[in-house]
Structure 1
Amino acid sequence: MKRRPGQLRIIGGQWRSRLIAFEADQGVRPTPDRVRQTLFDWLSPRIEGAVCLDLFAGSGALGLEALSRGATHTHFVEQGRAQSLGIREALHRLDAETRAEVSQSEALRWLDNAAKQAQRYELVFIDPPYAADLLEPVLQRLPPLLKSNNRLYLEWPAGHAPTLPAGYAWLKEKQAGQVSFGLATCTANEPGAPLS
């Protein structure tokens, strides 16, 4: 059944098939169901108990899916006020407020401030607006926030693959229609890692 604009469906875990409303204005585009399914198949050995960061959270689809599948905590970072409120409302409806935090902030500014904090993340979802050219600046700032053996999901328009900075490596890449996506890891902050 076709969903109305402004709705997404959680596709796995404890909230499977739950519909979540989101603010669809300003170009918010949840990661498509089949892409999410592939991503969480890739992450299935790691999702249980993980601490996640959902940058450019938009609808919150990726972070909510992670929580549904057993992640311990997700921090959502979203600049838009309406989108941030929508994520908070979804967390409230799912009775998941104690397992999440929502920061209404521009992502690069948030990353610069978060580097001074103690929190570290195992899984990071990075799906910025396609026209903003933000993947590489985000990756440059991420290493201080990452736990070892991390996984990073990146999404970009087909044909415009990002260049990974030193200390990163691709693990998987795939294309679905006009969307390309991949899984990477960062070893830049691990003992013995080469300095860039």
Structure 2
Amino acid sequence: MTKNRKSTGQNQQTGQVRIIAGQFRGRKLPVIMADGLRPTTDRVKETVFNWLMPHLYNAKCLDCFAGSGSLGFEALSRGVSSTQFYELNATAAKKIQENIQLLKANNAQISKGSCLQLLETEQQQFDLVFIDPPFRKGFVAQTAELLETKQLLTDEAIIYVEVESELTDLQLPINWQLLKEKISGQVAYRLYQRS
């Protein structure tokens, strides 16, 4: 993640995220640096996508709190059949839309709005879900519950969760089995499979 401290208005700078591998390998996508947006670092992303390798091909992907779209775009590059992005921040959502057009990714779509509200009306099921929300707001448990109660996950769906490392009592559905876990500084990242 590189940062160019070019101001774009209220408290927002621009930066870029790099796609590590796959069809769009090496492409750098412009992103905004708004408060609360933390693009997943290249090192973490590399580990996560090594974990995800067997689960990517032809998967329908949902990037819940997309931010820069870094995870969803990496998944697109590596062979998922489609990515649905959710993003509340209007400027970040607009940038994701621009990056979808830049990559000519006609299998990607952005929905602007609150993840929790968008899940209420979502119609399709997903094989792969990224849950990487702003820290310390309790969004992970609420998102997980909605994914289950609205039956938005396929039977053996893979769920990636990124939370603050001090969060030790995360309440997740009992049928989510922890596959992998790693802590890097203030971030804990985990891979679950729905059973």
1:180 is displaced (CA, Å) by 0.7
Alignment of 1:92-107 (within 5 A): 92-96=101-105, 98-107=106-115
8 Å Cα contact 2:2-2:16 kept in structure 1: no
Q: TM-score, normalised by structure 1?
A: 0.89
Partner of residue 190 from structure 2, selected from 182, 185, 189: 182
Distance 2:52 2:187 in 1: 19
The residue aligned with 2:8 is: none
1:167 is displaced (CA, Å) by 2.1
1:6 is displaced (CA, Å) by 1.7
Q: Which segment drifts farther, 177-186 or 81-90? A: 177-186
The residue aligned with 1:12 is: 21
Unaligned runs of 5+ in 1: 188-196
Unaligned runs of 5+ in 2: 5-13
Distance 2:89 2:39 in 1: 14
The residue aligned with 2:35 is: 26
Q: What residue identity is the alignment partner of 2:131?
A: I
Tell me the number of residue pairs that the alignment of Structure 1 and Structure 2 aligns.
Answer: 183
Partner of residue 121 from structure 2, selected from 79, 94, 113: 113
Could you report, residue by residue, the CA deviation over 1:44-102 in whole angstroms, capped at 9, with x for unpaired residues? 11111111000010000000000000111000000111011000111111111x11110
Q: Does 1:168 align with 2:173?
A: no
Partner of residue 124 from structure 1, selected from 129, 144, 155: 129
The residue aligned with 1:193 is: none
* Structure having the larger proportion of residues in strand: 2
1:184 is displaced (CA, Å) by 0.8
Distance 1:166 1:65 in 2: 29
The residue aligned with 1:156 is: 163
The residue aligned with 1:55 is: 64
Distance 2:131 2:190 in 1: 10
Distance 2:62 2:15 in 1: 22
Distance 2:180 2:152 in 1: 22
Distance 1:146 1:164 in 2: 14
The residue aligned with 2:7 is: none
The residue aligned with 2:82 is: 73
Alpha carbon RMSD of aligned pairs, Å?
A: 1.4
1:2 is displaced (CA, Å) by 5.2
1:3 is displaced (CA, Å) by 4.8
Distance 2:41 2:88 in 1: 21
1:12 is displaced (CA, Å) by 1.0
Q: Does 1:40 align with 2:45?
A: no
